[in-house]
């Protein structure tokens, strides 16, 4: 996975960086997904970080 193709997702509640995934080439907006956070113990919104 190349560095520019990788998106790191951070939890909105506790700000822990839990997931990394591929991001699409044709989107300029930051990726937002609902994922399970093991630190919070529930499903929360995760946003792409720099």
In this predicted model, what pLDDT tens digit does every residue of 25-42 receive, in sequence order?
A: 776 788 899 999 999 999
Q: Outline where DSSP puts E strands in the chain.
A: 6-11, 17-22, 32-37, 42-49
pLDDT at 29: 84
3-state secondary structure of 26: coil
Are 23 and 34 a contacting pair, CB within 8 Å?
no
- Which CATH number applies to 6-49? 2.20.28.120
Condensed to tens digits (0 to 9), the pLDDT of residues 3-12 reads 667 899 999 9
Domain positions in the chain are 6-49
- Asked if 7 and 19 count as a contact pair (C-beta separation under 8 A), the reply is no
The answer to whether residues 30 and 23 touch, using CB atoms and an 8 Å cutoff, is: no
Instruction: List the structure tokens of 18.
Output: 């839990």
pTM: predicted TM-score of the whole model, two decimal places: 0.79
């Amino acid at each position: 996975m190349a560095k520019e193709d990788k998106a790191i997702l951070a939890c909105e509640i506790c700000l822990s960086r839990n997931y990394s995934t591929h991001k699409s080439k044709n989107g300029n907006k930051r990726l937002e997904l609902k994922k399970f956070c093991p630190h919070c113990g529930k499903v929360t919104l995760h946003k792409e970080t720099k």
